[in-house]
Structure 1
């Protein structure tokens, strides 16, 4: 399998190079050269297969012969070693809990997969790789945990100062070893812009930079798999399946829509956003115009210029009318988020985190016009990661897992940077 740059389709690389480079030399995200639908027999037999077996069938065509079969199977077994429960919430409404991994966030899947791919690529050499990653909250913790102690890999995480939760910050700043945290005076979009600039900086070529954001195909592709896991559970409802994804950088929903192109029978996707509404506005007026990033209670989605939306556009050949047939996007305020969290807790005693609540709202908006469907929204992080918000809204205590409490008791280690030149100086050291 080869991958081409979305900026220059003539530039093509294999899976290994796409992982190591993250983005093309022209700044374009990599995209698979072929998307071949899976056979119908695969879907009819889903309920007879376990999750690692499903994941192997889904991912193997995108890896090609870059990894030996036994190595890929081992990586998949380690990546998908925790549960992905589908939980009923209300009539015809379910949630897919993606927070049962080591850092309690959906990004554990991509981080674990990528770290193990990179460990394999580095197994017989002393090539030093620097993972440079921007985070709006959960990516940094998942990447730091996934790459902790990996041979010949240093991890540098950029995060916006004061704009992640205390638990999220602890997961970035207390690990030490090969993990460094840079606290950026700015927004997530500023962090992401610095990362992209570094990749194209000729002065840093010798640093072997790569990214573990969802711009990297090894982070992005494995996220397809849990959409298949959810469909396995819900395939017999007899109604079309609509999936609502809380969306920030749009990697997760982009992976789901790639799964649909492989033949997964999901009828419609909903990108539910907070006040950062670039994509909902684009669907309304056809103009893609990011604004200044707005801080919200669903901070991991505080992204005004989502990198992965271009991949969704590529899946539909940049045809907005075709995209709208399979895809909707709605924006919700912090007030609406709070009301949704309170309402669901009062009705069924289920605690949604602020991001899951935005996903729930997106589904409810679609249900108002399409009542005869099965709805699934994603719970992308454990509510305890947003402890202050959840306790304030619901007046309900949450028990912090022992592993997280130990981490929060450790001293914070971070370096404050204000601009790209300070990042560049740090990387040169």
Structure 2
């Protein structure tokens, strides 16, 4: 499989090259040259397939020939080791719980898959520096996925004071090959610094940079797997139904882009909902046809505080830049903090289910759209509610217990470098990291 840039100013490259490079030089995003359609027999067998087997069937066309089938099987067996249950919340509304992995967030899947791919591809004596921006869960998932991986250094940028305490502890207390950098700015500033680093010719000469944000194909593509799994579990419970809508909490839009790519591969999902917080750039585009990135706004659903979604060009690519074609499949929704808090409290009291702030938005979106769309609905719970303990406790008046994965990070010393929102500062950090790892 070859991958091209959405800006079409860079040469087509292999999966291996795309994983190591992260971003094309023309500042586009890598996109697969072909999207294979899976056979009917796959969907017939899907309800009873194990997650690793689904992953092999879905991903093999994209990773070949750089990763042989047996090696892909080993990677999938190592990555998909935890459950991803489909849980009924109320009649015709289900949630896919993506928080049962080692850092209690959906990004565990993509980060673990990418770490195994990069470990397979990295050459001894040529260390790779993985540079990633995070608004919360990406940092912890990447740090966990790459911790201790030989020949790979990780530098995580995050907005100073812009992530929850638990999220921060998960990637600032590890040491080893993980370095945390607090940026005086917003997530969009961190993201812009990452892009600037990849475009810098001097840095490219001195070190081998790769990205572990969802802009990297090895982080993005494996997210398709749990959409197929969700549909299979839903179909098992509804063998005679044919239509379902999936609501996706969306910030950088890699998760939604993965679901839409799965749909292009034949996944029979009728509609997707792009569910966002007050950073409603994409819902506004779906309504008006005008795409206008804006400075991000801080909200209770902090992982989605993104004013310039990195992965939206991939979604435009799938719909051939056609606004009306996208409108037919993707519905837009946004909610403010008061609405998020109210629905968390309501669902906890009335349904006995505790939503995280991001899942709360996607649940709200289904409540708005399902009466019109007349389908069943699945919303994604992308992180454990305990990762937002302060906010959740304030809303429910309770004291949510931390799962064991999160308790492990308590009372550890943070190891953080602080920089201004200035590329010179980041460049100095990266050059220092390169000298240490050389």
**Normalized against structure 1, the TM-score is what?**
0.98
Aligned residue in 1 for 2:243:
240
Q: What per-residue deviation string (whole Å, max 9, x for no partner) do you get for residues 204-247 of structure 1? A: 01210110000000000000000011111111521511000000
1:294-316: CA deviations, max 9, x gaps?
00000000001001011011011
Q: Tell me, yes or no, if structure 1 residue 81 matches structure 2 residue 84.
A: no
Residue in 1 that maps onto 2:280: 277
Aligned residue among 390, 399, 402 for 2:401: 399
2:23 is matched with 23
Structure 2 gap segments, 5+ residues each: 433-438
CA distance in 1, matches of 2:41, 2:371: 34
C-alpha distance in 2, partners of 1:104/1:263?
29
Q: What is the CA distance between 1:361 and its match in structure 2?
A: 1.0
Equivalent pair of 1:82/1:101 in contact (CA under 8 Å): yes
Bigger mean CA offset, 242-251 vs 390-399:
390-399
Aligned to 1:96: 96
Distance 1:125 1:10 in 2: 27
Describe the SS at the equivalent of 1:291. coil
User: Once structures 1 and 2 are overlaid, which stretch shifts more, 312-321 or 230-239?
Assistant: 230-239
Aligned to 1:6: 6
CA-atom RMSD, angstroms? 1.0
Verify: 1:337 aligned to 2:336, yes or no: no
Distance 2:52 2:320 in 1: 31
Q: Which residue of 2 aligns with 1:112?
A: 112
Out of 411, 414, 418, the position equivalent to 2:413 is 411
1:88-107 Cα offsets, whole Å, 9 max, x none, are 00110000000000000000
**Which residue matches 1:164?**
163
Q: Does 1:358 align with 2:361?
A: yes
Query: In the TM superposition, what is the alpha-carbon distance from 1:256 to its structure 2 partner?
Result: 0.4
Q: Name the CA distance, whole Å, in 1 between partners of 2:289 and 2:405.
A: 46
Q: 1:367: Cα distance to partner?
A: 1.6
Rounded to whole Å, the distance in 2 between the matches of 1:281 and 1:49 is 38
Q: Is the 8 A contact 2:102 2:405 kept in 1?
A: no
Distance 1:226 1:219 in 2: 13
The residue that corresponds to 1:328 in the other structure is: 331
In 2, Cα distance between the equivalents of 1:276 and 1:394?
Answer: 25
Deviation at 1:146, TM superposition (A): 0.3
Does structure 1 residue 312 correspond to structure 2 residue 315?
yes
3-state SS, counterpart of residue 78 of structure 1: helix
Structure 1 residue 8 displacement after superposition: 1.4
Contact kept, 8 Å, 2:10 with 2:24, in 1: the verdict is: no
- 2:128 maps to which residue? 129
The Cα shift of 1:317 comes to 0.7
In 2: Cα distance, 1:75 partner to 1:256 partner: 21
User: Could you tell me which residue of structure 1 aligns to residue 150 of structure 2?
Assistant: 151
Q: How many Å separate the matches in 2 of 1:368 and 1:158?
A: 41
Quick one: distance in 1 between partners of 2:112 and 2:337? Answer: 32
**Contact preservation (8 Å) 1:244, 1:271:** yes
Q: Deviations over 1:280-332 (max 9, x none)?
A: 11111111111111000000000010010110110111111111111011111
What secondary structure does 1:81 align onto?
A: coil
Separation in structure 1 between the aligned mates of residue 317 and residue 372 of structure 2, nearest angstrom: 28
| 1:203 Cα deviation after fit | 1.3
Q: Which runs of 4+ in 1 moved over 3 A?
A: none
Number of residue-to-residue matches in the alignment? 427
Cross-structure match for 1:250:
253
The 10-residue stretch of structure 1 (402-411 or 376-385) with the greater mean CA deviation from structure 2:
402-411
Whether the 8 Å contact between 1:239 and 1:374 is mirrored in structure 2 is no
- Shift in Å, 1:408: 2.1
Q: TM-score scaled to structure 2, two decimals? A: 0.96
| Contact 2:363–2:379 (8 Å) recurs in 1 | yes
| Distance in 2, Cα, partners of 1:33 & 1:55 | 20
Q: Is residue 10–residue 26 contact of structure 2 (8 Å, CA) maintained in 1?
A: no
- Structure 1: give runs of 5+ residues left out of the alignment: none
Report the CA distance shift for 1:281/1:115 in structure 2 as closer, same or farther (over 3 A): same
